Every structure is written in structure tokens, then in C-alpha cells.
Chains A and B, each alone.
Chain A
Amino acid sequence: MNANGETLIEVGHLVRRFGDRAVLDDISFNVHRGETLVIMGGSGCGKSTLLRHMIGSMKPTSGTVKLFGKEITAMKEREIERVRLRFGMLFQSGALLASLTVGENIALPLLQHTDKSGDEIEEIVKQKLQMVGLTGFEDLKPGEISGGMKKRVGLARALALDPELLFSDEPTSGLDPIMTAVVDQLTLNLTKGSHMTAVVVSHDMTSAFRIATRMIMLGHGSIVAQGTPDEIRNSPNPEVQQFIHGQPDGPIPLNVSQEEHKDHQHVRPRPFLGARFRFHHKHP
């Protein structure tokens, strides 16, 4: 752990409940400048929920989240916006605006938040696209490029304002092994070369071990294990071993009861239609 670096993110005793179920249950950890933290865990373990709390788009039931030393959980939208200018986020789907071209997508944060001239912005867009290996794709619409390309454009857009901190939600899911390596290499270049700090949510173990300087494994809403990639690889914890080796049998349960699953859905049940259907499902 890089204990000497400045602390960029401090998560303290974070709890988030949906109904009676605690999706995040007393989670605490810090991220220091220059680190690449990989948050891993099975589907539905609360990884994405944790990430959404760290970027301020969800409010915790209790606990604190500090970004750059500032508590964001109690902030108003206007104040959070100022913090958000300092980090970039790569979404799982890329989340490019479908109505804009690739170039306009990357230019968007620059147009909105800087006073740069059109020529300067064009230059930055070209440079960012070159960085993700998509030179000359400026004028295509997101609908005209593949999923992997969308992710790379998403990365270029996240980096448009040269942030100090990058959040990535499953940056490699749905990519072929070569493209996965390319995205990993890009992340490494940024963290090693440009001293950027990265928080990556992933369940792709190959990619996680390639980029991480520290790892956290989540399970049942709490931290099961954390440490350097070596510590995780050699962890005696059977849950960790089951997860990193992808074994079907082990301490992590396969079955999620309907009750739990329902609590996990954020959608409010509709009163009339919902009531009728719920009678058909008997919970075990």
C-alpha cells in the first residue's frame, strides 16, 4: 500500500440500505494518489452501488465519502459539480451521447467547462483519440462503431479534462482478450506514466491483476479481503480463492432467494399490477 501518498478518496463506515437489505454494510477504505484500486466481487455484490456513492450520484444511508478531502455526501448538486470536474468516469456501456459524433462527445466537457477556442478543442480531441488508438474517428456517430470502440471513446471523453482521478465501471467487460489488453495498457500508461489515480470496478480477474496496485473484494455488501495483488492471490480466504479461480463450488452461494433479489431491485413495485403478480411467486 502506498501509505505515503496524499489520500484522494476516504470512504468511512459507508452503509446503504434498500428496504431492509444492506447492499453496502459498513465499508471503509482509502485511496491514495497514484494508486490503482480494483474493486472486485460477484454480480450484485454492490460494486456498482459503491462506485455510484463515490461519484456522488447516490446518497448513503449513513457513513462518509470524502473526495480530495471534501465530504461529498452532504453536498448540494452545485458543489458536487465542482468536485466532478476533477475526476473522469468511464461507464460500462461507454454512455456516449448518441446524438453527437465521437468528436463532439469528447469535446463536450471542454466546451462546457473551459474557455478554449474551437481550434484548441479540435487539437485536444485529436490527441485524445490518438491516445486510445482511434485516429480519424471524429465524425462517426456512436451507433456506427463497435462496443469496444465506444468504450475507448468513453475513456477518451473521461480524460478530456485531464483529471487527477479516473473511475471505470467494468472497463473490459464484453471486450475480446486483445481489446482487454489494449484497455489495460491504456490504464497502465495513465497511472504509471501520467501518475493518475484510478478506481476500477471489475470482475475480470486477468485484467484486474494486470492493472491493480491494490485490490478490494466485496461480498454480501462488506469487504471480504483487501491487499496488494500478491496478497490477494495468496489469500487463505476460501471466498477469495473461489472467486479468483472461478470455481463453481465454494463458500459463495449460488442461489439468491427471490426475497433478496426483490429487495435488490431499486424499482418501486407498482401497486396494482405488482400486487397481482406477486401472489404467483412463493418465496422459498
Chain B
Amino acid sequence: MNARTLAFCPLRPQVKNYLQLNLSLLYWILIAPFTGQFFKIAPIFRQMVFIGVRAAPMVALTAFSVGVTLAMQAAHSLQSLGAEMYIPDLVMITLLREMGPVLIAVIVIGRSGSAVAAELGTMKVSEEIEALEVMAINPVQYLVVPRFIAMLVMLPALTIFGNYIGILGGWAVCRFALNFNTAGYVLRALESADTWDLYSGMIKSAVFAWIIITIACNAGLNVEGGAEGVGQATTGSVVQALLAMLVMNAVLTGIFFFSA
């Protein structure tokens, strides 16, 4: 073994844990229901409210600011070319393809991903996870599955919501600063975007949802060493999820818009 492989040794159990979590998640969602072990609906809705609905105000504020900024930046550059009419195109497409999915994922990582990691981590250090196992309740089925499904539904939903608000931000700049009329803005925005632009954003945000929630749950379930461990796991999950999400975004953009 050379020094390089030695340096990566401490990572290996974490990677193994992460893959195991993903496999057992797939088992509980795809296979277990056919063996009569259905997952319960109520906890999923509870998590949807927590992960999704409560994040909506923050998402709205962020998306509105981004929509406004995009429109102002576009106006600045496009006006010099006399091409202000393309501002709605630019706002719409940037939001649908990139800014919407990525920024809303950032908000959800910071708000909900960290909360999930901290919650599960605290449960781990206070023996609650072990207690579940001893009661023959699988922690993945009981704790991870509802959070996973809630995230997989709510992140794309928040993204659609954020896209609307962002476009509203763009409209506010065009309408009040650049004297567009509303009908013109809407028409131009709708004409520019393809349904594929929306779908690609949705696919991105579903993949991000998977990454965010599995990293957060894995970090929480593998906490060791008390309150300090919970803190480290929470920070670690946020950093890892951000990096993984941004890298995955580049990969997906490459696949969707560059390879064709």
C-alpha cells in the first residue's frame, strides 16, 4: 500500500456506509412493498411540510432576488446591443435550466439537509436509533424512507414554485424599470422556453434531492462521539452535499445540453 491509498483509507467505511444506505433505501421503497411491508403515508406528509412547505418563504425570497438580478444584468448587456426584447428569454431559460434547480437545492441543503443530519445524529447519540433496532423497527424504513420520498417530491415542487417567483422578479424589472408591457413579457418568456428546458431542470432537481437527503441521512446515522460528533456530521453533510450537487449539476448540464 502506498501513501496515497493509506490517506484514503478513512474514507472507505464512509463510502461503504453510503452505498449500503442507498441499497437498503431502494429495497424498502421498491421491493419491500411487494412483500407486504408498506411504508406509512402520514410521516411522509409530516416530512413534506417540514422539508418543503416551511422552506417556501426562503425559496421565494431567493428566487425573486435572482429573477430581479438576472433581468438587470441582462438589461445592462442587451441594451447596448439594442436587444432588450430578449431579456425575458434569458431570465426564463437561465432559471429553468440552471439557477432554479441549483439555487433552490442550495437553500434546501442549508435549511433541510442540515436539519435532517442534526436530527438523526442526535437520535443516534441518544441511543434512539439503537432502541428502534431493538424494537425490530428498521431505522432506514422508519426514519430515512419518509424523508427521502418527501425530499424527492418537494425539491422539484419547490423548484417549480421558485421558477415562477423568479420569472415574476424578472417581470418586475421589465415592467417597472424598462417599460415592457406584461403581455409582451409573458408571451416572450413562454415562446423562448422549450418543455425540455423545464424537464431538464426537474430531472436535475430530482437527482439533487436524492444526493441531498442520502448524504444528510448517512451523515446523521453514522455520528460517533456525542454533541461534537453531531456538529461535525451536520457541517460535513452540508459541505459534501453542496460539492456533490454542484459537480452533479455540471455533469448533468454536460449530458443534457452539450452532448446532443
A interface list, Cβ under 8 A from B: 55, 57, 77, 81-82, 84-85, 89, 91-93, 95-99, 108-109, 112-113, 157, 266-268, 270-271
Contacts and interface: CB of A to CB of B under 8 A. Distances in A.
Contact of A81 (B7, B122, B138, B142): B138
Contact of B224 (A77, A108, A267): A267
Contacts of B57: none
Sort A-B residue pairs by CB-CB distance and give the 4 closest, nearest first.
A95-B131, A95-B127, A81-B136, A84-B136
B45 to A, nearest CB: 15
Interface residues of B, number: 21
**Interface class of chain A by DSSP:** loop
Most A CB within 10 A of own CB, among B119, B123, B127, B136? B136
5 contacts: A84-B135, A98-B123, A109-B135, A109-B136, A112-B142
Nearest to B127: A95
A91 B136 contact: no
B10 A108 contact: no
Interface string B113-147: 00000010011001110111111111000100000
Contacts of A55: 134
B127 A91 contact: yes
B82 interface: no
A123 to B, nearest CB: 20
A109 to B, nearest CB: 5
A57 B10 contact: no
A268 B9 CA distance: 12
A268 B10 contact: yes
B136 A85 contact: yes
Contacts of B225: 267
A108 B128 contact: no
Given A89-B131, A268-B10, A95 B137 contact: no
A91 B135 contact: no
Contacts of A85: 136
Given A93-B127, A98-B126, A57 B135 contact: no
Contacts of A112: 135-137, 142
Nearest to A83: B136
Contacts of B132: 97
A85 B10 CA distance: 36
Interface string B15-56: 000000000000000000000000000000000000000000
B31 to A, nearest CB: 12
Contacts of B138: 77, 81
